A and B are shown apart, each in its own frame.
Chain A
Amino acid sequence: MSSRLSGNEAVAYAMKQINPDVMGAFPITPSTEIPEYFAAYVANGEVNTEYVAVESEHSSMSVCIAAQAAGARAVSATSSCGLALMYELLYVAASCRLPITLACVNRALSGPININHDYSDSMGARDSGWIQIYAENNQEAYDNIIMAMPIGETPNIRLPVMSCMDGFITSHAVENIELLETDVVRKFIGEYNPEHYLLKKENPLAVGPYDVSAYYMEHKVQEAEAMKAAKSRILEVAAEFEKISGRRYGLFEEYRMEDAQLALVLIGSTAGTAKAAINKLRENGIKAGLVKIRVFRPFPGEELARALAGTRAVAVMDKSEGFSANGGPLFAETCSALYDLKERPYMINIVYGLGGRDVKTEDIEKVFGRLTDIARTGETHPVYTHMGQRSREEETA
Chain B
Amino acid sequence: MSTVYNLKREVEKPTRLTGGHRLCAGCGTGVVVSGVLRALDREDRAVVVNATSCLEVSTFM
Contact = CB atoms under 8 A, between A and B. Distances in A.
A85 interface: no
Contact of A210 (B45, B47, B49, B57): B57
Interface stretch (A139-147, A151-159, A173-181, A198-206): A198-206
Given A209-B56, A210-B56, A199 B47 contact: yes
Interface in B7-58: 45, 47, 49, 56-57
A43 B47 CA distance: 29
Nearest to B47: A198
B61 interface: yes
B-side interface mostly? loop
Contacts of A212: 61
Residue with the highest number of chain A CB atoms closer than 10 Å, among B45, B57, B61: B61
Contacts of A210: 56-57, 60-61
Nearest to A211: B61
B60 A206 contact: yes
Interface residues of A, number: 10
Contacts of A199: 47
B61 A201 contact: no
Contacts of B61: 209-210, 212
Contacts of B56: 209-210
Nearest to B57: A210
A199 B47 CA distance: 8
Nearest to B58: A210
Contacts of A70: 47
A66 B49 CA distance: 10
A212 B61 CA distance: 8
Interface in A188-216: 198-199, 201, 204, 206, 209-210, 212
A70 B49 CA distance: 12
A209 B60 contact: yes
Nearest to A70: B47
A141 B57 CA distance: 41
Nearest to A199: B47
A206 to B, nearest CB: 5
A95 to B, nearest CB: 13
Contacts of A209: 56, 60-61
7 contacts: A66-B49, A70-B47, A204-B45, A209-B60, A209-B61, A210-B56, A210-B57
Given A70-B47, A199-B47, A210-B57, 6 more contacts: A66-B49, A206-B60, A210-B56, A210-B60, A210-B61, A212-B61
